[in-house]
Structure 1
Amino acid sequence: MEVWKENKQTGLSCGINDFGELFLGNKGSGYNLPDTPENREYILNDFDYWNQ
C-alpha cells in the first residue's frame, strides 16, 4: 500500500492499495476507484474536501 496523504486526527487517508486501486477512507468506511489520471485527481480533491 502506498499512502499519499493522511490525516492522523480523523484517520482519513488516500493512495494506492495492494491491488493497484486508488482508495480514500478510514478504518470504518471509504471507497476504491480504478487507477486513472482522472481518478487520481478525484481522490486527491475528495481528500482535501473532507479535511477542510
Structure 2
Amino acid sequence: MRSNKGAAGIDGITVDNFVQHFKAVGDDLIETIRQGHYQPLPVRRVYIRKPDGG
C-alpha cells in the first residue's frame, strides 16, 4: 500500500499512522492474541443496491 500511496481505510488510518499505532500497542495486542483473549469488534454489514436488484 505504501508503494502505490494507498488511501486510508474506513477507519481513516493511513499506513504511516498504523505503523506508529502498532509500535505503541503491538506487543500487548500480540500477547492478547496468544493468550486467546482477543475479541475483535463486530463487522458492520452494508448492502449496496444494484441496478438489477441483486
User: TM-score under structure 1 normalisation?
Assistant: 0.28
**Rg larger in 1 or in 2?**
2
User: TM-score under structure 2 normalisation?
Assistant: 0.27
